[in-house]
Amino acid sequence: MSSTMKEKLDSIVSDAVSRLAEAQDPDALNTVRVDILGKKGQLKELMKGMKDVAAEDRPKIGQMVNEARDRVTELIEKRKKEIDLEVMNARMAAETIDVTLPAKKAEIGHPHPNQIALEELERIFVGMGYEVIEGPEIEWDEYNFTKLNIPPNHPAKDEQDTFYINKDIVLRTQTSPVQARRMEQGKLPIRMISPGRVFRSDEVDATHSPSFHQVEGLVVDKNITFADLKGTLDKFAKEVFGPDTKTKFRPHHFPFTEPSAEMDVSCFKCGGKGCRFCKGEGWIEILGCGMVHPHVLEMCGIDPNEYTGFAFGVGLERIALLKYEIDDMRLLYENDARFLKQF
């Protein structure tokens, strides 16, 4: 009897050995464990036959069953460790990080062409002793127009050109009102530039936008003449467009300056001969300027018999477009990084 029990136990153990060798994952391992060691497993079944075993053989058979259980448990443990290791190795292989691969570049922004141009303008004028000040984008009609000698019937005040908040308040159409704000402070002399956003009721096209930027300039002191204006703006033009740049002042009209002029620079592409860039002219218009109108000085509390001054206004986009040879203003507002990082 004990010999058949032994044979059965041996066959259970060898069956376990071959099934465990085939088991490839923790689930398969568990199936083998339940089949052999479980409540309804092969060993439990075998124990049911104990009642037929002679009483004196029972301890020995019992010991054999225990040994078989220990052996199978041990085999399962061993296989479990193997499978765990295989699973771990497979994961390690799958999740390998190649530390020699170049890292992804962090996207850092790029200064906007307007910003680059503005910083250059600020560098030039701060270098000549100017202060940089800002004024409000939402402005009194009085500062945007009246204090700048712009009469109520002036075409610039037309609703087709100006965004009105109400009859007294506008989105400033120019940075010139900062001149009046600065002069009214009464601190003299004045050497200032004032960059900022301005608004006009314009349709968007390659050269127009309802919102763009200007840089205003103002100098007020004793004995300031048109020669100071010319010298300053000529220096500015040479700094921005190169040392060979020539300047030309054409008479013009602005209500807040007298006399007034527009300044052209010699085309920095063709040197003045005439090319596609300057439309055959040899000259490119850059800014408006003039001697501060005595009446404007007076309205801002400055005695025009004691003080004189000059002023100028530059379109920032205009400088950026020319300097970087960008042919469509809309590109400046699309914020496409592929465009912006070229400058």
Interface residue list for ligand DAH (CB under 6 A): 174, 176, 216, 254, 257, 288-290, 311-313
Smaller CB distance to ligand DAH: residue 254 or 268?
Answer: 254
- For residues 30 and 11, give the distance between their C-alpha atoms in angstroms, rounded to a whole number: 19
| DSSP 8-state code for residue 192 | E
| DSSP 8-state code for residue 175 | S
Smaller CB distance to ligand DAH: residue 120 or 258?
Answer: 258
Helix (H, G, I), strand (E, B) or coil at 141: helix
Residue nearest ligand DAH, CB atom distance: 313
Smaller CB distance to ligand DAH: residue 196 or 290?
Answer: 290
Q: CA 167: distance to chain centroid?
A: 38
Q: Minimum CB separation from ligand DAH for residue 214, in Å?
A: 6
Smaller CB distance to ligand DAH: residue 110 or 252?
Answer: 252
Residue 111 tokens read as: 């200064």
Q: Minimum CB separation from ligand DAH for residue 268, in Å?
A: 22
The phi and psi torsions of 258 (rounded to 5 degrees) equal -160, 115
Cis peptide leading into residue 259 (ω within 30°)? yes
- For residues 107 and 220, give the distance between their C-alpha atoms in angstroms, rounded to a whole number: 45
Q: Minimum CB separation from ligand DAH for residue 217, in Å?
A: 7
Q: Minimum CB separation from ligand DAH for residue 107, in Å?
A: 37
Smaller CB distance to ligand DAH: residue 42 or 114?
Answer: 114
Smaller CB distance to ligand DAH: residue 12 or 311?
Answer: 311
Q: Minimum CB separation from ligand DAH for residue 180, in Å?
A: 11
Count H helices, E strands: the chain?
A: 11, 9
- Dihedral sign for Cα 34, 39, 44, 48, please: negative
Q: Minimum CB separation from ligand DAH for residue 167, in Å?
A: 21
CA-closest candidate to residue 296, choices 218, 195, 236, 209:
218
Q: Minimum CB separation from ligand DAH for residue 229, in Å?
A: 9
CA-closest candidate to residue 211, choices 222, 196, 198, 223:
198
Tokens 């019992």 belong to which residue? 62
Smaller CB distance to ligand DAH: residue 141 or 216?
Answer: 216
Q: Which helix (H) or strand (E) holds 289?
A: strand 283-292
